[in-house]
Amino acid sequence: MTRTTTRFTGTSVLVTGGGSGIGRAVALAFAREGARVAVAGRTASALAETVALIEDEGGTAVALVGSVADGQDAARLVREAVEQLGGLDIAVNNAGILGGLGPVADVAEEDWQRLIDTNLTGTWLAMKHQIAHLRANGGGAIVNIASNLGVHMRLEGLGAYAVSKAAVAALTRSAARDHIAEGVRINLVSPGPVDTGMSSRPGETAADKADRMKGDVPVGRAGAVEEVAAAVLHLASPESAYTVGADLVLDGGITA
């Protein structure tokens, strides 16, 4: 395994939504810097692929199947991460969905509820159990993943999604203030368009997407999952010990 630094050697990390995209990139990045990693999510096969990628590079990883939107699952995922990794020092709450597309007045109630249950309540439930462990065991760091949609900007047809992510931002900053005195340091990363399936539009080809990004993003391209992972590791690292409740926007200048 190629390691750029050893700053996370000896640490244990839980990444939710770790089966693909940003979550997988975050898990790989932590493992490459020496961490033991638990990846959690709802799809066993995707999680197994992430674990295999880490193990192929000589790292240590385990897969935990469950949904953070379920209170019992959220508690179990933390408990099993601690048991299988020998502790927990850092958590990254990346699990989320895109849905409820269309004007706000036309969003189906079930689609709205599913967004809130996963993106907001799921983040809260995950943090609730992560914080309980961390504050009882010397503290640690949590990094949540939101979006530039929400607090920073809105787009037509994505109002429900923006609301769920704006709420994650408010939750993160509130939790950061509540728990820093207990040694739990919490921050947020808010990506803009990133080269994952969630940033593509229905029926859009890779070439179409690249052309759209040139017009939509001042820097002229979508972000890479590795760039988001680098920001997450920075906020989780000792170098960010004075950073509390920050919202780091990575959107190529869209909301600058």
pLDDT averaged over consecutive 10-residue blocks of the chain (256 residues)?
76 98 98 98 98 97 97 98 98 96 96 97 98 98 98 94 98 98 98 78 64 81 96 98 98 95
Residue 202 pLDDT: 54
The residue whose two tokens read 């395994």 is: 1
Burial of 77 (0-12, 13-18, 19+ CB in 10 A): buried
Residue 242 appears among annotated catalytic residues:
no
* Spatial contact of 252 and 192, defined as CB atoms under 8 Å apart: yes
From 199, 103, 189, select the one nearest 147 (Cα to Cα): 189
- Give Dmax (Cα) for the chain: 50
Q: Give CA–CA dist 30/116, Å, rounded.
A: 28
From 163, 148, 158, select the one nearest 222 (Cα to Cα): 148
Domain regions of the chain by residue span:
12-249
The residue whose two tokens read 């020998």 is: 86
**pTM of the predicted structure, to 2 decimals:** 0.93
Residue 215 pLDDT: 72
In this structure, which topology does domain 12-249 adopt according to CATH?
A: Rossmann fold (3.40.50)
Q: Which amino acid is at 256?
A: A
- In the set 159, 161, 175, 192, the catalytic residue is 161
Q: Which amino acid is at 91?
A: A
The residue whose two tokens read 């630094």 is: 5
Per the structure block, which two tokens stand in for 109?
A: 């109630």
